[in-house]
């Protein structure tokens, strides 16, 4: 700690409060550190999207992470979805985990809020609070909280009853929250809250409801709210946060905002000192494959591989094949991944037996075990592929076998996996849409009343490609730089865009990622549903799911496999010819001539303009050679 007075932010929003918070987690924890704070909480609206990212980032810079959650709490049963007006559907409540048990309970509540409490917002209720109160610190909430609603309505007797209920439930872990960003509504709430605190002996705690990092970020955050509400910044009646005080204040700035209530500021440090969320991120929570009675995972995996030897190599496999198999099995068993291979083999077997095209690709093709199990149709010895590129015995990382399925019937395989390992143990993985370089120009332009035509014109000046950022585009695109220098409206759009670019905009479903656990997923990761869809997905993205020790697999529905499958069926139906693409000649001259002409539109991974250009150039480099040369066959 520095010489700064003791204070810790306990009510803070990151950009995972979608289009409402503007704090990026790395910058947020760094500012807390630089301001002399030794701890920090995040309390995003209705979700735990950033919880694990925040935990690891805070640990890295020496900040004690307090994982929190600004819950939406229903006035009654969360499953009852009726309210006279939208704002009456829920109240805000600040919940903080003080230990690992508290974090697990936050996960349970945040999941239930989406899965069965969603009504305008993901809502919990007091029943859930009673069930999952252990390890939770509760603050009474901001001006949108239930207590504040009663105080503002002059219903002080009911306010007392609410405070008494929460105090009975949480005991010494319940605090009355006060805020002061210069708003009259906060002053009125604080007056009533301070009166209750003194009369009922409940401790006060001061928070700032920080939505952006620095005071000068207030304007860009205001534009972000316009993007959120699809409103014009010039509209005086739109939703906005008045003033410019919703930033991550320093301890001195917080004490200055609460004269005579220094104890409410200092108490934040007392609360932080009681928090110790020690997460075990080294333990795996993989599902367990059940082999036949009397056999271990390793035994059964060996049996399946031995069966595959005859299928792939005939009755007398070469010694090189046997040696490679023994080596791979020894590594797999030593690293504890036999069950993993059996899990993948099992659902790939299900797909094959039900006529669903399914193939592994990528580094997994370097494993002879994958070839023998029928996951891949590429012999790694024939093509001199390295097993270590797939599974490095010197690293503890889990293997990652990407399986492509026929797009039309991918869902059948997912349903099989859910039935096999339990519906509660399987979910698809979430992902986040962000304000990309082109999108942020269009979104900000709309908020600033710049015409759609001009916004589209400027957005098209941004180069197309992966990882394109506005700052780089200003250097690389003369047209964009010219528009920025010569048009004040465009300059304003891009200046705000530079502030908002990369912030999370929406939650969605990963195209392929599926997570499978040994127990119900809500024991490890928060879940959600996307509005209008039935799929249950994780609130964490793929990297955090893996970091939490869960098994991630890619079930990619591939259009090309569907087209190939239908082509084979049509040839059989109309020509009476049975084709097997796996037995097509790999040295067919006509095929290589087609490749050399760059006629590969519609061919998986060969249809892009860049690769087609490379193929035509390869023709000139190789002359008349039309068939692939055999690679070295040594290891």
pLDDT tens per residue, range 50-83: 999 999 999 999 999 999 999 999 999 999 887 6
With a cut of 50, say whether residue 635 has pLDDT above it.
Answer: no
Rounded to an integer, the average pLDDT of 162-180 is 97
List, in sequence order, every residue forming a beta bridge with 69; answer none if it has no partner: 95
> Please, which residues have CB within 8 angstroms of residue 344's CB and are 6 or more apart in sequence?
373, 375, 401, 403, 553
Q: How far from 472 is each of 190, 220, 466, 498, 503, CA to CA, in Å? A: 46, 20, 12, 11, 17
Selected residue with higher pLDDT from 488 and 620: 488
**CA neighbor of 97 nearest in space, from 127, 63, 75, 64:** 64
If one counts every other C-beta atom within 10 angstroms of the C-beta of residue 588, the result is: 12
Mean pLDDT, the chain, integer = 91
Dihedral in degrees, nearest 10, Cα atoms 143, 144, 146, 151 = 40
Strand 426-434 and strand 504-516: the pairing is: antiparallel
Rg of the Cα atoms in the chain: 29
Give yes or no for residue 186 having a pLDDT over 90.
yes
**Residue-level pLDDT at 627:** 45
CA distance 50 to 16: 6
List for the chain the helix, strand, coil content (%; round to 5): 45, 15, 40
Task: Write down the pLDDT at residue 310.
Answer: 93
Q: What is the pLDDT of residue 561?
A: 78
Is residue 117 a contact partner of residue 79, using CB atoms and an 8 Å limit? Answer: yes
Mean pLDDT of 418-423: 94
3-state secondary structure of 355: coil
What is the pTM for the complete model shown? 0.89
Domain boundaries, given as residue ranges, for the chain: 25-213+248-273, 216-241+436-501, 297-431+507-560, 585-635
Given this model, what pLDDT does residue 322 score? 96
Please give the Cα distance from 523 to 517 (Å, whole number). 9
Task: Please work out, in degrees rounded to the nearest 5, the angle formed at the alpha carbon of residue 306 by the alpha carbons of 303 and 309.
Answer: 155
The band of 3, judged by pLDDT with boundaries at 50, 70 and 90, is: low
Q: Greater confidence, 260 or 589?
A: 260
- The per-residue pLDDT for range 495-548, each reduced to its tens digit, is 999 999 999 999 999 988 999 999 999 999 999 998 777 889 999 999 999 999
Q: What is the pLDDT of residue 622?
A: 52
Helices in 422-477 by DSSP H: which ranges? 437-447, 452-459, 470-476
Two tokens at 69? 């959650």
CATH 3.20.20.140 holds for 25-213+248-273: yes
Mean pLDDT of 187-201: 96
In this prediction, residue 620 carries a pLDDT of 59
Give the architecture (CATH level 2) of 216-241+436-501.
Answer: Orthogonal Bundle (1.10)
């Amino acid at each position: 700690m520095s010489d700064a007075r003791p204070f810790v932010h306990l009510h803070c929003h990151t950009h995972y409060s979608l289009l409402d918070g503007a704090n990026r987690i790395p910058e947020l924890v760094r500012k807390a550190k630089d301001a002399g704070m030794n701890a920090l909480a995040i309390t995003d609206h209705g979700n735990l999207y950033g919880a694990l990212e925040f935990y690891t980032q805070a640990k890295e810079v020496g900040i004690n992470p307090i994982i929190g959650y600004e819950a939406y709490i229903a006035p009654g049963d969360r499953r009852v979805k009726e309210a006279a007006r939208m704002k009456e559907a829920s109240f805000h409540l600040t919940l903080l985990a003080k230990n690992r048990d508290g974090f697990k309970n936050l996960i349970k509540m945040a999941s239930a809020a989406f899965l069965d409490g969603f009504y305008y917002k993901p809502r919990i209720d007091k029943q859930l609070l009673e069930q999952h109160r252990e390890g939770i610190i509760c603050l009474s909430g901001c001006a949108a909280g239930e207590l504040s609603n009663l105080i503002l309505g002059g219903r002080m007797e009911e306010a007392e009853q609410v405070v008494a209920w929460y105090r009975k439930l949480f005991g010494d872990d319940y605090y009355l929250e006060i805020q002061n960003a210069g708003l009259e509504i906060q002053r009125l709430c604080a007056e009533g809250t301070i009166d209750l605190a003194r009369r009922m002996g409940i401790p006060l705690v001061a928070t700032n409801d920080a939505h952006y990092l620095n005071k000068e970020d207030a304007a860009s955050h205001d534009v972000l709210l316009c993007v959120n509400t699809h409103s014009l910044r010039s509209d005086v009646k739109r939703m906005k946060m008045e003033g410019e005080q919703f930033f991550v204040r320093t301890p001195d700035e917080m004490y200055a905002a609460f004269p005579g209530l220094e104890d409410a500021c200092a108490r934040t440090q007392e609360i932080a000192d009681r928090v110790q969320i020690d997460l075990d991120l080294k333990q795996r929570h993989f599902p367990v494959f059940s082999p036949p009675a009397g056999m271990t995972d390793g035994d059964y995996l060996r049996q399946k591989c031995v069966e595959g030897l005859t299928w792939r190599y005939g009755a007398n496999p070469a010694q090189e094949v046997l040696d490679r198999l023994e080596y791979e099995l020894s590594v797999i068993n030593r690293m504890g991944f036999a069950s993993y291979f059996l899990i993948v083999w099992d659902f790939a077997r299900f797909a094959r037996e039900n006529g669903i095209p399914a193939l592994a690709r990528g580094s997994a093709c370097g494993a002879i075990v994958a070839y023998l199990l029928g996951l891949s149709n590429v012999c790694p010895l024939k093509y001199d592929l390295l097993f270590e590129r797939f599974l490095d015995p010197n690293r503890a990382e889990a293997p990652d076998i990407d399986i492509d399925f026929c797009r039309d019937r991918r869902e059948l395989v997912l349903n099989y996996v859910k039935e096999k390992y339990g519906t509660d143990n399987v979910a698809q993985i979430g992902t986040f849409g962000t304000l990309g370089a082109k999108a942020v120009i269009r979104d900000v332009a709309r908020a600033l009343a710049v015409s759609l035509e001009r916004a589209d014109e400027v957005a098209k000046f941004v180069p197309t490609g992966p990882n394109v950022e506005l700052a780089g585009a200003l250097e690389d695109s003369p047209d964009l730089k010219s528009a920025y220098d010569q048009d004040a409206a465009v300059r304003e759009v891009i200046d705000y865009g530079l502030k908002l670019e990369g912030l999370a905009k929406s939650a969605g479903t990963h195209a392929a990622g599926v997570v499978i656990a040994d127990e119900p997923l809500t024991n490890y990761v928060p879940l959600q549903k996307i509005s209008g869809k039935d799929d249950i997905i994780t609130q964490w993205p793929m990297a955090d799911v893996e970091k939490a020790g869960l098994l991630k697999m890619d079930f990619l529905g591939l259009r090309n496999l569907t087209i190939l499958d239908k082509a084979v069926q049509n040839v059989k139906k109309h020509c009476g010819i049975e084709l097997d693409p796996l037995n097509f000649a790999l040295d067919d001259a006509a095929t290589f001539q087609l490749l050399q002409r760059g006629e590969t539109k519609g061919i998986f991974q060969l249809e892009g303009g860049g690769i087609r250009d490379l193929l035509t150039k390869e023709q000139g480099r190789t002359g008349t050679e039309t068939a692939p040369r055999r690679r070295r066959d040594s290891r």
